[in-house]
Amino acid sequence: MPSLADKKIVVGITGGIAAYKSAELVRRLMDHGAGVQVVMTDAAKAFITPLTLQALSGRPVRDTLLDSSAESGMGHIEIARWADHLVVAPASADFIARLASGMASDLLATVCLATSAPIILAPAMNQGMWRKSATQRNIATLMADGITIVGPASGEQACGDVGPGRMLEPSEIISHLTRTGNNHSLDGASVTITAGPTWEALDPVRALSNHSSGKMGYAVAIAAAAAGAAVTLISGPTALNPPPGIQYRPVQSAEEMLAAVEQDIDTCNVFIGVAAVADYRPLRSETSKIKKHSDSVTLELVRTPDILARVAQHTKRPFTVGFAAETDRAIPNAREKLHNKGLDLIAVNQVDETNNPFGSEENHLILISKTDEIDLGRDSKTVLAEKLISEIAHRYHDEYSA
């Protein structure tokens, strides 16, 4: 992982309750040996004082665009040239909108426009504001402009709502920051990713499914896009918003997911099967709701298509990566799956009382190939997705450049 020692990092802070986390971000960056210059908007100062950030960074906080004392009034250019990296955390909906429009109405927006350094935005806002189509359009615009968007996470918010909009933790932002140098590791590659559960209908209102939330697959899709890939995300039913800047195909059943995968299989370079695909479906799906006419019902089930095996055995075979959630003998079972399906890699996690990834923001993954195992550790799904994409990119290039 690249070091942040002696790196010059501008930390931009906009208005929002998550600004309290910015103090921790600055402190941790200093612990990594970075030089930090804080730039605050007026709204940010309503949530955290410049004096706090000055004490942590050892530098006076900059907050004025037209500052005659800052290099003859050209302070924004001075800061823009100084920065090796620029991180805005939290990035409010208002700031995101202004930046997407190319506005330079305060010092922070002007520095973002003037700098040639990589920019990372960590959004933080109410879940309704994040889901709004205007915000998603602005995010897509910024991603197309080469700005990296990290998060937001989902969970309980200060207003009492629950959903996406929480700023990532400082450790997660720093993890993204240390990987900005690898963001082009999949340039030119076409990556197809499956995510979420499948829904195998019993009748119009019931189905066979599972606990998958889709969070891991969506995080992998975002990480692959950040690495420069053209990403197609094929998702079963989830409560998640489609990631901006990614081709998104919603499906319901395993059969529908297979059909969507087969659309890309001849042009796909890397396939990552994160979806928790149901192994069985009802032989018949009733056209009307099954009524409680007796104390028991017998269901006849048949196998669903093995999407991973189909991809791995295709004539124009992409680099193929699978996922396995196991309740026992995780490593042996995953290695058997790797061999039987003909995969290049498989990411496995043990599901038990100490690690239940379903619906969680965290997971613990071990990556297995035909020759080795790499413990990616227990971390947020966002960070694990980046580690996974880094390993996939390295091995994909090794195989296809050999």
176-207 in b/e burial notation, b at 16+ Cβ within 10 A? Answer: bbbbbebbebbeebbbbbbbbbbbbbbeeeeb
**Catalytic residue chosen out of the listed positions 103, 159, 290, 302:** 159
Cβ contacts of residue 103 below 8 Å, gap of 6+?
A: 109
Residue 159: active-site member: yes
Asked if 302 and 228 count as a contact pair (C-beta separation under 8 A), the reply is no
The b/e string for 13-28 (b: 16+ C-beta within 10 A; e otherwise) is: bbbbebbebbbebbeb
Q: Which two tokens stand for residue 106?
A: 């305060």
CA atoms within 13 A on the CB side of 196: 21
| Cα(6)–Cα(28) distance, integer angstroms | 14
What whole-number distance in Å separates Cα of residue 167 and Cα of residue 14? 12
Give the pairing of strands 153-156 and 200-201.
Answer: unpaired
Q: Residue 201: what residue type?
A: A
- For 82, residues 6+ apart whose C-beta sits below 8 A from its C-beta are 8, 10, 37
234 within 8 A of 193, measured Cβ to Cβ: yes
What is the β-pairing status of strands 200-201 and 207-208?
antiparallel
Q: How far is CA 165 from the centre of its chain?
A: 13
Q: How far apart are CA 285 and CA 300, in angstroms?
A: 10
CB atoms within 10 A of CB 211: 12
Indicate the burial class of 228 (C-beta count within 10 angstroms; 0-12, 13-18, 19 or more).
middle
Show the tokens assigned to 341: 């399906």
The catalytic residues are 159
